Structure 1
Amino acid sequence: MTASVKANGAPSREEFSERLLRGSVKKYYEPVVDVDWDAPLDPDKFFLPPRSVSLYGTPLWDSMSREQQIELSRQEFVNTLSAGIWFENILNQALLRDLMHADPTARSTHYALTEMGDETRHMVMFGRAIEKVGGKPMRPKRYQRMIINALPLTFRGALLWVAALVGEEIFDSLQRNMMDDPDLQPVVQRIMKIHVTEEARHIQFARDGARKRVAEMPWLSRMWVANLNGVGGLFFRHLFTNAAQYRRAGLDGKEARRVARTSPHHHDVQALGFAPLAAFLADVGLMGPVARRLWTRTHFLPATSSGRPRSDVEVDVDDRDSYDGPAVLHVGGVDHTVGVRLVGHLEPVDGQYHWQGAIFGELPGDVLKQPRATLSVGDRVATARISERTAQGTYGIVGVGAPPFA
């Protein structure tokens, strides 16, 4: 992760990293307080949108009761989050090893460290979510754990960034297409929004790293990476049709897996999730013939697709203190007694103290039209901004400077 020379008017690696660092300061989440973990689950809502559940659109799905369908969505949700935890673990190990050879003063190094912090919080969020929905984590088998521990040793250079994209972008694309589904549990919607917001920066960082590395790679190395990425198709096919999730939902695991793997609708969902990454890999010359065959064989790439290029996804570019208790929110000339859950930290990028969290309580419907507010905890008062209303009915609040809690 060293600085790159600016080419063709594009920002250098350092300039790009600086922009992402500033974006991270402006918009980031603390899942411990930004997700309402105490809100009850809705027994009639799904944990994944029905159309994204692997058996959707099959006779087997149609034969299931709504309760059984919801349970299958819960098990697939737990399976996906479990895999996300293991992948974030692999990525953080690989990034940390890469930093051993990087300039500790470089902005690209600083953003890599920022990304590792994000991923660590995501692992906490996924673990809390599995606990929240009453699930049991899907644990890798012994040989899989051995592979997980070995993979970071192989992820260097462009392969690191392509591996990061394979692990992040398919999930990101699917989440973007389903996080606003009205049949979805509010807590799941919230988790997806947090993950999509922060992963967008990670994806841009990885894309920029891959694009700049490819330009400098020898032909043989480029062909190796361009074809090796197809192994990702085999991994995701196994993940999305893991027999264990069907068994836990009371189905015949092998038969349900067979049905899912032959489902045209499931193939369409996979292709939808892979489409943005397929276009990028084709654009930078990293979709080799072997990789294309593997992605096609596992139904992530339609047989007739060539992977059309598309523009990058655009994003806005320690010790932590906390408070959980009552507060008074003054907004629009009116005081509101509310509950808040807040955390804060000193941000090394700009040298200022940033705090944020969630507001619990009834607020006027037009509160977001006048987001400037003050928040009081005892005798301490701080200026703040109401940032959003979440799917769970809470409000986000952010501030810079002295917080309203000690």
Structure 2
Amino acid sequence: MTSVDKQTRGREDVARRLLDSAHTLSYDPAREVDWDTPLDTGHHGASPEWSTLYGTAYWAEMTPGQQRELTRHEAASVASTGIWFEMILQQMVLRDFYAKDPTDPAFQWALTEIADECRHSIMFARGAAKLGAPAYRPRRLVVELGRAFKTIASGEAAYAAILVAEEVLDVMQRDWMRDERVAPFVRTINNIHVVEESRHMQFAREETRERLKGAGRLRKQINGLAVAVASYFIVTSMVSREVYANAGLDAERAIREAKANEHHKSMLRSSCAGLMEFLGSAGLLTRAAMWFYQRANLI
């Protein structure tokens, strides 16, 4: 068996394992999540420690009710940003597997992942609505940049960007799903997403490694920068500036203190330690890329 045959066999084995896992452990959010019980405003929407204002002077001045209201809006904003990126992800994966061999387990896994993402997006949308939040969207510039990225990104650039978005969400949601201060239905949503996204992250890592085989330094420099730029706009769009006014806060002061909040920056950096190690080992953590990761407080 040639080295190429071994690589193909290994990729197929990974896809089969993921398909088996999806068959064994997948969820139907329409039935698993308690959509009928009215929202209990005594709960947070996310772990308070993940709030953009946690640890600031403004947070200390807020009443517990205001803090809970803010985390509910922040969680809804993160969910809405997740929907936006999941739509980008689905289009990139569909384009990548267009007209390829449908008997290939990787092809079948790709369709399984897209089906998962469709359910996740509906789940996030219903969750945000139940939290009593409006529709939060990235800024128009970011939406248009996302439109361009999903059209032109391919190979390792597409899969590494998918991995960044999924990894950052994964770490914070693992905290939220275990936190009894968080609304029970939000914890269920996070649990479903964490379980099913773990398979997506494994696939994204495998595809990134696979596409980078034989890649030269220039290609890694270009794609490393593309992934970093995409990551910057994804992460900085997670919590909309509109959440503060909608939570009844002084938006100008809240934005100012959130920007300077070292606690939140530290939370983001710690959540991305493993991700940065992977990107470094793949040759995608270039000097130019690091500038954008530092600006997004991911490193």
TM superposition score category, shorter chain reference: over 0.9
Specify the alignment match of 1:165 in structure 2.
Answer: 163
Aligned mate of 2:132, from 134, 139, 142:
134
For residue 84 of structure 2, what is the aligned residue in structure 1?
86
| Cα deviation digits, residues 80-120 of structure 1 (max 9, x gap) | 11101111100111111112142222110100000000000
1:242 offset after TM fit, Å? 2.5
- Partner residue of 2:6? 6
> Which 4+ runs in 1 deviate beyond 6 A?
none
Gaps of 5+ in 1: 302-406
Q: Does the C-alpha gap of structure 1 residues 241 and 142 become closer, same or farther in structure 2, counting only changes over 3 Å? A: closer
Match for residue 222 of structure 1 among 220, 223, 235 = 220
Unaligned runs of 5+ in 2: none
Asked if structure 2 preserves the Cα contact closer than 8 Å seen for 1:247 and 1:253, the reply is yes
Pair 23,237 (structure 1): closer, same or farther in 2 beyond 3 Å: closer
Q: CA deviation at 1:236?
A: 4.2
Distance of aligned partners of 1:267 and 1:119 in 2 relative to their CA distance in 1, 3 Å threshold: same
Deviations 1:44-103 (A, max 9, x none): 110011111110011000000011111111110111111011111001111111121422
Deviation of 1:146 after TM superposition, in Å, equals 3.1
For 2:104, the aligned partner's letter is: A
For residue 183 of structure 1, what is the aligned residue in structure 2? 181
Given the alignment, which residue of 174, 187, 211 partners 1:213?
211
Partner of 1:43: 41
Aligned to 2:55: 57
8 Å CA contact retained: 2:236, 2:296: no
Identity of counterpart residues, as a percentage? 36
Q: How far did residue 15 of structure 1 move?
A: 1.1
**Which residue matches 1:291?**
289
Aligned pair count? 296
The Cα of 1:216 is off from its aligned counterpart by: 2.5
Range moving further from structure 2, 209-218 or 16-25: 209-218
Cα deviation for residue 187 of structure 1 reads 0.5
Root mean square deviation, CA, Å: 1.8
Report the CA distance between 1:262 and its aligned residue.
1.1
Residue 234 to residue 255, structure 1, CA distance change in 2 (3 Å)? farther
> Is contact 1:242-1:257 (8 Å) kept?
no
* Alpha-carbon distance, 1:232 to partner: 3.9
**Highest CA radius of gyration, 1 or 2?**
1
* Displacement of 1:191: 0.3
1:235-262, Cα deviation, whole Å (9 max, x unpaired): 1453245311112112232331221121
Correspondence for 2:243: 245
Query: Superposed, which structure 2 residues align to 1:71-110 within 5 Å?
Result: 71-110=69-108
My pick for the range that moved more, 292-301 or 144-153, is 144-153
Aligned-partner Cα distance in 1 for 2:256–2:115: 39
Higher helix share: 2
The structure in which a higher percent of residues are strand is 1
1:231 maps to what in 2? Answer: 229
1:117 is matched with which residue? 115
Q: Which moved more, 1:225-234 or 1:170-179?
A: 225-234
Deviates more, 1:292-301 or 1:139-148: 139-148
CA distance in structure 2 between the partners assigned to 1:226 and 1:5 by the alignment: 28
Contact 1:243/1:254 (<8 A) preserved: no
TM score, norm. by length of structure 1: 0.69
Work out the CA distance in 2 between the residues paired with 1:285 and 1:147: 24
| Equivalent residue runs for 1:321-336 within 5 Å | none
Q: Which amino acid aligns with 1:252?
A: D
Select the structure with the greater relative contact order (CA < 8 A; seq sep ≥ 6).
2
- Output the CA distance in 2 between the equivalents of 1:235 and 1:229: 10
Give the equivalent residue in structure 1 for 2:280: 282
Q: Render the CA deviation track for 1:275-328: whole Å, top value 9, x for unaligned.
A: 221111112221111111221233211xxxxxxxxxxxxxxxxxxxxxxxxxxx
